Amino acid sequence: MTNDKSNLPPRTPTDTPVAKPAAKKATPTNPAPKARIHKPLPPALQNLHKRLPHFMQLMRLDKPIGILLLLWPTLWALWLAAKGFPSVKNLIIFCLGVVVMRSAGCVINDFADRKIDGRVARTQNRPLATGAISSREAIILFVSLCLVAFGLVLLTDPLTIKLSVGGLLLAFSYPFMKRHTHLPQVVLGAAFAWGIPMAYAAQTGALDKNMWLIYFAVVIWTVVYDTFYAMVDRDDDLKIGVKSTAILFGDQDRVITGALQILTLYALYLVGQAFTLGWVFYLSFGVVAGLFGYQQWLIRFRERTACFKAFMNNNWVGAVVFVGIALDFASRSQ
């Protein structure tokens, strides 16, 4: 047998073994590459996911009642200004704006109350009172939320942008009023109702006297339900020197809140007249009167849990008025 390789198929490039390049050795002129060292994140960022619930609690995202009480009047204004369904753009802007500004208001409120919340049974577990969030972090969050809200407002018209300054000042000043006046609820009402002229201006490009009827109704209504809220804390507030309408009204709290509810109903009646609303709206008007009566029944003994329940019940008041307005305009288009 010969060692003849002539009959074998020719080699292809894949048949030839490829030698691996020798690893470069480190020399004084060619040092070995350094391994990347990842700097650890600051402790605050490392634990952000663990602290997120505290920030949500600070913004009250776990308790949406405040968002709803702020949202309903804003929707009233949008529907009344548009005489029906408003522009989708304005609807999105103001729904987002309500969430952001209410969150900002809660943050600055807790910052203002950080030294007294720990002495009140209802608020002693708030993040700033327990130290879960620092004062510096709260201020940074407040400023960030305000910037987001202002960014949303910039998507509207010049009049609405100007009005937003007033809303910011009211939101910032309210938490500090309870140290200087027994009427902080009036300031809160002015702040909560400020979305009305803003929404009206964004939808129509102007303000008129009828719009101020809605504003007036909401300010009075807010004083009522926030007085119920303050009645929950009245005993604690008396001890630490915090002022409120609940303390100012004293034993006449039921009579005065009842009178204010009647005034709210009258203001809503005037709104219906001014905007020529029909029977659907006045049907909801009757339901609201019944809800107000139920709230007075709840607070008859001034028991904390019942007063808080009366406060929460006002979500239904806002919803019923909105449904009455929206359905009234919808029925006209059919």
- pLDDT tens digits along 251-267: 999 999 999 999 999 99
Q: Mean pLDDT for the chain?
A: 89
Domains of the chain (ranges; CATH) run 53-332 (1.10.357.140)
- The predicted model gives 171-184 an average pLDDT of 91
For residue 322, the tally of other CB atoms under 10 A from its CB is 19
Amino acid letter for position 134: S
**The overall pTM is greater than 0.95:** no
When pLDDT is cut at 50, 70 and 90, the band that residue 22 belongs to is low
When pLDDT is cut at 50, 70 and 90, the band that residue 6 belongs to is very low
The three-class DSSP label of residue 27 is strand
Q: Which of 109, 231, 234 is nearest to 174 (CA)?
A: 109
Residue 122: pLDDT over 80: yes
Query: Does residue 162 contact residue 205 with C-beta atoms inside 8 Å?
Result: no
Q: What own/partner pairs with CB < 8 Å and gap ≥ 24 does 303-311 have?
A: 304/231, 304/232, 307/228, 307/229, 307/231, 307/232, 308/228, 308/229, 308/232, 310/225, 310/228, 311/225, 311/226, 311/228, 311/229, 311/232
Residue 109: pLDDT over 80: yes
Q: Which of 137, 145, 182, 183 is nearest to 167 (CA)?
A: 145
